[in-house]
Structure 1
Amino acid sequence: MPETVPARRRPGRLRALARLLPSPAGTPFTFGYAVVLAGTSLFMAAAAPDTVAAVLRASSTDVAHLVRSPVLALGASALWIAGGVTSPLVLAFLLVLSALERRIGGRRTAAVFLLGHVLATLATEVPVGLSVMAGHLPGTSLHRLDYGVSFGVAASAGALAGLLTPWPRWLVLGAFTAMLVADLLTFTDPMTSWGHLLALAVGLATWPLLRPLAHAPAAARRGGADR
């Protein structure tokens, strides 16, 4: 009889692990977005380097693209993961967005992601444009390569933290903040590093709006997300 206990518990554990990842029925937004990102990541891995570089330049949210076609630039830049499928950001995207969508629904998760992506992008690129106009940066800075989902993931992580119980909340916030601060201290790309911190703050600012939704019945959340 004792040997049957782990066997009975195993399906429950597998179901719990499965809930951490996106699924077509449970988290359609995250699942669909993950499929798109998987496709673009496979393209990055399989296409010729010159082709990949040209496509990424065309998808960049640099100042030049934002001035000409802001909506297209913001949308295209969110179709890529910097580093492709080998990036640690892949796991963060899957876990964070799945957990957030299960709590507040797909459309609201998309709204949080988009809010962080747009605001952090503008907050980092507008100063670049102004600095070029003032003569503090060269004109080449207007074509600075900038793409990826990291701003949206950071905002989603900040929003998710507010819906968790205290210990998981501070664990998520502590881990993300430490990672972003360490990235900032390396000074490899300080503009992007500040953008990540700003995106995290955008997610934190959504707590008053999202916390009531997390306590609503699941059916009500789904109904609100479909409106």
Structure 2
Amino acid sequence: MRRVARVLGTYVSRSPVTTGYVGLLLLTHLWCTSVLSTAEAQRVVLGVSTNLDNLQDRPVRVLAGSMLFFDGTLTEFTSLAFVGTLITLGIGVSVCLAWLERRYGAGRAVGIFVLGHLAATLLTAPLIHVAIAHGWYPDSVRHATDFGISYGAEAVLATGALLLKRARWLAAAGVVAWPVSGGDWSGVLPDFTTVGHLLAAAIGFACGACLLRAARRAAPAPAPQPDTALVE
């Protein structure tokens, strides 16, 4: 128990922003699943869904509010929803975001997460418009329930994968494989959430490449070697 308490204390002290965010996500999830009725919870998540109708009517509210919830479960251990929770809340936020905060600071870590969430959402919206207009997506997608942290989590997962010293490309392939394997590819286009996750991964890879480049520039130059001819 002392060892567990020590590990948790170190985690909190080294990544306080991530710790607070994880706590907030757990509170909002418990609020929706244990306090509100099913109908009330559905109204809440629909109100923060980043669908086309909400983005047109109240963009700031839904873009910010969507990051306060995760679309998954904490109790149905054998379901795909629980696997999604492990990937997004577990590995994405609790591990990768915390690691980025410890290594690069809270500002950069949160910036990557928010950029992935916002940019992937806003870049997917025009695609949905075009797909609906051409009949590739049903019109119901316009007001679909679509909320949560998964785009931001995908971005920090991609960044973390690219910053690994070992198994970098294997981890990057896993980041891409998650939305590809779980998406619907039966139509002309994959479903819009798959597109959004792939865009978020691309954003995360770009952020990781920028951090790698900055680290190489900041690395000290190798010390000059003595001239052996002069030494002799």
Taking structure 2 as the reference length, what is the TM-score of the superposition? 0.76
Task: Say whether residues 1:210 and 2:211 are aligned partners.
Answer: yes
What is the Cα deviation at residue 135 of structure 1? 6.5
What is the Cα deviation at residue 199 of structure 1? 0.5
Structure 1 stretch 123-132 or stretch 95-104: which is displaced more? 123-132
Closer, same or farther in 2 for the Cα pair 1:44/1:187, shift >3 Å?
A: farther
Alignment match of 2:53 (pick from 50, 56, 64) = 64
What is the Cα deviation at residue 195 of structure 1? 1.1
Matched to 2:196, the amino acid is G
5 Å matches for 1:1-227? 18=7, 23-46=11-34, 47-85=36-74, 86=82, 87-88=85-86, 89-92=88-91, 93-132=93-132, 139-167=139-167, 169-184=168-183, 190-211=191-212, 212=214
Closer, same or farther in 2 for the Cα pair 1:57/1:164, shift >3 Å?
A: same
Q: Secondary structure at the match of 1:78?
A: helix
Are the equivalent residues in 1 in contact too, given 2:18–2:98 (CA < 8 A)?
Answer: yes
What is the Cα deviation at residue 131 of structure 1? 4.0
Closer, same or farther in 2 for the Cα pair 1:180/1:133, shift >3 Å?
A: closer
Are the equivalent residues in 1 in contact too, given 2:131–2:137 (CA < 8 A)?
Answer: yes
1: distance between equivalents of 2:52 and 2:27? 27
Matched to 1:52, the amino acid is A
For residues 113-142 of structure 1, what are the alpha-carbon distances to aligned partners after superposition, in whole Å with 9 as ceiling and x for unaligned? 011101111122222234445676554332
Where does residue 3 of structure 1 map in the other structure? none
Structure 1 stretch 187-196 or stretch 92-101: which is displaced more? 187-196
1: distance between equivalents of 2:50 and 2:216? 33
What is the Cα deviation at residue 186 of structure 1? 6.5
Larger radius of gyration: 2
What is the Cα deviation at residue 215 of structure 1? 9.4
What is the Cα deviation at residue 213 of structure 1? 5.2
What is the Cα deviation at residue 40 of structure 1? 0.8
2: distance between equivalents of 1:104 and 1:18? 20
2: distance between equivalents of 1:173 and 1:157? 8
Closer, same or farther in 2 for the Cα pair 1:171/1:121, shift >3 Å?
A: same
Are the equivalent residues in 1 in contact too, given 2:71–2:148 (CA < 8 A)?
Answer: yes
Closer, same or farther in 2 for the Cα pair 1:144/1:22, shift >3 Å?
A: farther
Query: Of the two structures, which has the highest relative contact order with CA contacts closer than 8 Å and spacing of 6 or more?
Result: 1
Query: For the aligned residues, what is the CA RMSD?
Result: 3.0
Structure 2 residues not aligned, in runs of 5+: 75-81, 220-232
Matched to 2:191, the amino acid is P
Matched to 1:36, the amino acid is L
Q: Which runs of 4+ in 1 moved over 6 A?
A: 214-217
Number of matched pairs: 203
Taking structure 1 as the reference length, what is the TM-score of the superposition? 0.77
What is the Cα deviation at residue 65 of structure 1? 1.1
Are the equivalent residues in 2 in contact too, given 1:119–1:199 (CA < 8 A)?
Answer: yes
Structure 1 residues not aligned, in runs of 5+: 1-9, 218-227
What is the Cα deviation at residue 63 of structure 1? 0.8
Structure 1 stretch 101-110 or stretch 89-98: which is displaced more? 89-98
Matched to 2:201, the amino acid is L
